[in-house]
C-alpha cells in the first residue's frame, strides 16, 4: 500500500518512507517497486545502513562510506543496468527511515566526489572485517580473470601487528556442524554449485572429507575439495562460503579466511577470521583508522592504492 501524507513530501510503502517517485513494474510476473531518486538522495538511504556502527563512526569514516557508495552506484549506472538492487546484491538501501544527520553531513561534504582510476569510477568493493589483510580480486572471484591493480590486497595491521578491525564481533569466529547437520548442509547447498547433482546426494554419504588445497598469501581459502557420496567436489574462489553455511541459518560462512577445518566423529569444526569477501575496503578497519586520526582520503588511498578522488559532477 502506498500512502501520501499531505504534510510530508515522502511516500509510504508497507510502513516505510521513501523520497522521490515510486514506480511499479512487473518483471517476469512479479511486481517490482522502483524508487526514483537522485544519486545524492539515494546515498542518504544507503550510508547509515551500509556503514552501521554509527555510534563509533567519525565524520571521516562516514565520508569514506559516502564516497565509495557514490562511486559504486555511479559505476553501476554508467554500465548497461541503471537500476540498483536495494539489497546486498548492490548496496542496502532503506529509504528515508534511516536518514541520519551525521551521514547527511558526510554526503553533503563530499558532494559528487568519487574514487577514480584512469579517469573512471573505480570498483570500490568493501566488506565488514578483513581480519588483518585484504585479498586479491581475481583469486577470490575467479570470474574476474584479470587482476585490478588497486584490488590486490593490502595489510590492515597497525604498528603492533594488531588488525585495525580487531574489535569487530567477527574478528574471530567458530562454527560447528554435527555429522547429520553437515550432511544436510551439503545436500542443500552443493546442488547450486553443481547443478544436476541432487540425485547422487541421496542415501548414505559415506565418509565426508574436506581438504583445503589452495590459499591466498594472506590465508583466504581459494581452493577446497569436499569428498562425500563417493564424489569429489572442487570449490574455487570463495565458493566454500556458499556451501558450508552455518547450521540452521541461511547466512553464508562469515569469511573464507579459515584458520581451522577439522572433521571428527563429533562433526565439523571451522574457525575463521573476518566477515565478508575481504576485497577492497575493510569497513571496521576504516572506522578504526578514522578514530585514530587518518583523514578520509588517506583511508581510501590505503585500501585502494593508486586511485585518487575525483569530482564526478
- Residue nearer to Zn ion on the CB measure, 43 or 282: 282
In angstroms, the Cα distances linking 243 to 137, 180, 188, 252 are 20, 15, 8, 8
- Residue nearer to Zn ion on the CB measure, 63 or 127: 127
Site string for Zn ion, 106-135 (x = CB under 5 A): ------------------------x-----
Provide the minimum distance between the beta carbon of 142 and Zn ion in the complex, in angstroms, as a whole number. Answer: 23
- Residue nearer to Zn ion on the CB measure, 182 or 282: 282
Provide the minimum distance between the beta carbon of 304 and Zn ion in the complex, in angstroms, as a whole number. Answer: 14
Site string for Zn ion, 256-285 (x = CB under 5 A): --------------------------x--x
Distance CA 146, CA 142 (A): 9
- Residue nearer to Zn ion on the CB measure, 237 or 274: 274
154: phi > 0 → left, psi -120 to 50 → alpha, else beta; which? beta
Q: Does 171 bind Zn ion (CB under 5 A)?
A: no
Select from 6-14, 25-33, 157-165, 246-254 the region that touches Zn ion (CB under 5 A).
Answer: 157-165
In angstroms, the Cα distances linking 138 to 85, 271, 308 are 24, 24, 22
Question: Of 57, 67, 165, 171, which one interacts with Zn ion (CB under 5 A)?
Answer: 165
Q: Rg for the chain (alpha carbons), in Å?
A: 21
Distance CA 17, CA 101 (A): 17
Provide the minimum distance between the beta carbon of 157 and Zn ion in the complex, in angstroms, as a whole number. Answer: 9
Beta-sheet strand order (sheet of 267-272): 173-177, 267-272, 258-264
**Residues 297, 68 contacting (CB under 8 angstroms):** no
- Residue nearer to Zn ion on the CB measure, 35 or 135: 135
Select from 47-55, 158-166, 224-232, 291-299 the region that touches Zn ion (CB under 5 A).
Answer: 158-166
Provide the minimum distance between the beta carbon of 135 and Zn ion in the complex, in angstroms, as a whole number. Answer: 11
Provide the minimum distance between the beta carbon of 139 and Zn ion in the complex, in angstroms, as a whole number. Answer: 17
In angstroms, the Cα distances linking 84 to 39, 73, 78, 120, 310 are 11, 7, 11, 19, 22
Total number of residues binding Zn ion (CB under 5 A)? Answer: 5
What is the SS3 assignment for 129? strand
Q: What cell numbers appear for 114 in the block?
A: 568519487
Provide the minimum distance between the beta carbon of 164 and Zn ion in the complex, in angstroms, as a whole number. Answer: 5
Which residues here bind Zn ion, judged by CB under 5 A? 130, 156, 165, 282, 285
Amino acid at each position: 500500500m502506498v500512502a501520501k501524507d499531505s504534510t510530508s513530501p515522502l511516500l509510504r510503502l508497507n510502513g516505510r518512507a521513501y523520497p522521490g517517485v515510486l514506480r511499479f513494474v512487473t518483471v517476469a510476473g512479479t511486481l517490482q517497486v522502483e524508487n526514483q531518486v537522485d544519486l545524492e538522495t539515494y546515498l542518504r538511504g544507503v550510508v547509515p545502513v551500509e556503514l552501521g556502527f554509527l555510534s563509533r563512526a567519525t565524520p571521516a569514516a562516514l565520508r569514506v562510506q559516502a564516497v565509495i557508495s557514490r562511486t559504486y552506484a555511479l559505476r553501476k549506472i554508467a554500465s548497461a543496468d541503471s537500476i540498483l538492487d536495494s539489497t546486498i546484491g548492490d548496496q542496502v538501501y532503506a529509504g528515508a527511515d534511516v536518514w541520519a544527520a551525521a551521514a547527511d553531513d558526510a554526503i553533503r561534504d563530499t558532494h559528487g566526489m568519487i574514487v577514480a582510476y584512469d579517469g573512471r569510477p573505480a570498483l570500490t568493493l568493501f566488506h565488514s572485517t578483513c581480519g588483518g589483510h585484504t585479498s586479491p580480486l581475481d583469486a577470490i572471484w575467479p570470474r574476474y580473470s584479470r587482476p585490478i591493480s588497486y584490488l590486490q590486497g593490502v595489510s590492515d595491521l597497525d604498528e603492533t601487528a594488531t588488525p585495525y578491525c580487531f574489535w569487530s564481533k567477527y574478528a574471530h569466529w567458530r562454527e560447528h556442524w554435527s555429522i547429520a547437520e553437515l550432511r544436510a548442509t551439503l545436500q542443500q547447498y552443493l546442488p547450486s554449485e553443481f547443478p544436476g547433482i541432487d540425485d547422487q546426494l541421496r542415501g548414505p554419504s559415506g565418509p565426508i572429507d574436506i581438504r583445503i588445497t589452495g590459499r591466498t598469501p594472506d590465508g583466504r581459502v581459494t581452493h577446497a575439495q569436499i569428498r562425500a557420496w563417493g564424489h569429489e567436489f572442487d570449490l574455487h574462489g570463495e565458493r566454500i562460503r556458499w556451501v558450508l553455511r552455518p547450521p540452521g541459518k541461511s547466512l553464508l560462512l562469515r569469511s573464507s579466511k579459515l584458520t581451522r577445518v577439522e572433521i571428527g566423529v563429533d562433526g565439523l569444526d571451522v574457525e575463521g577470521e573476518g566477515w565478508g569477501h575481504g576485497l577492497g575496503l575493510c569497513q571496521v578497519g576504516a572506522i578504526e583508522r578514522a578514530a585514530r586520526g587518518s583523514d578520509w582520503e588517506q583511508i581510501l588511498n590505503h585500501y585502494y592504492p593508486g586511485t585518487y578522488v575525483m569530482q564526478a559532477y
